[in-house]
Chains A and B, each alone.
Chain A
Amino acid sequence: MLHRQDGAVFTTGRSLYSDRAPGSEEPTAKIFVKIGIEALPGPIVAQLDTGAAWSMLDAEVAEAMDLLGRGGEQTLISTRVGRVVGRLEQTDLEILADDGDSLTIQATVWVSAEWHGGNFLGYAGLLQNIRLAVDPSDNSFYFGPL
């Protein structure tokens, strides 16, 4: 894994990322990483978005996780399709490694029955407590706990 100059561990896991939305004709480069959710039998992808305050889960994924209709804190979020009302809920997500260790994260995520724009890993409540690095030469995503 990645180490600092003094030999201390920096990241503990690595996975392949997709540098565009898998299967999409949307041409701009983005970083999609694999995440695991207990309610699902396999991984899904989520876009890294360090500019987003919160992580967001697509309504269908949130439904599978039984996160819709809970009593979390209601809040509005500005999205590319306008402001959407949803709730902040706590749940467990996994950032999956191909090599090294995966991470399990008890995080606050934003969910809404109205949100069908995909999954995002945002800064507050998730990425701010993770070390991360990318190597675009081979689409490697490196990550580890603080």
Chain B
Amino acid sequence: MPEPDVRPFVMAVRGLIETERITAARHMLAAAPAYILGDPLVARLRSVLAPPVVRRMQKRDVDRTQEFDWLRAHGREYRGRWVALVGSNVLASTATLRELLEQLRTTDVSKPPLLHRVD
């Protein structure tokens, strides 16, 4: 018996994704015949279209009023750069996120900094 050709089905689902009809794409996948579910392309589509899994966790950030206020007042001085802020203290300022992370590895931080590229 020949292998089933899943390409028309996959193309149809991709067409729905590219036109941002995600719910329709999910419905189409949910109605897929069982004999194509094992195909790697179909499995990948099922994976990326799976509904999100949301869980509560007892982790908290701190109030970032000071950081947002600082960015409002001084952001223009750092246009195009990444900054790491704790309160109104600039821990690091770099051209790229990669460089920022490298600098922070050697910086003593009292609490997690807000990381932000000023656009």
Contact = CB atoms under 8 A, between A and B. Distances in A.
Interface of A: 12-13, 15-16, 18, 20-26, 34, 36, 40-45, 53, 58, 60-61, 63-64, 72-73, 75-76, 88-90, 94, 96-99, 101-108, 118, 123-126, 128-130, 144-146
B96 A60 contact: yes
Given A53-B22, A106-B53, A130-B54, A23 B47 contact: no
A25 B22 CA distance: 34
Contacts of B96: 60
25 contacts: A12-B56, A23-B74, A23-B79, A26-B119, A34-B114, A41-B104, A42-B84, A42-B115, A43-B64, A44-B115, A72-B44, A73-B44, A89-B48, A102-B58, A102-B60, A103-B56, A104-B54, A105-B54, A108-B50, A108-B52, A118-B119, A125-B22, A125-B51, A129-B51, A129-B53
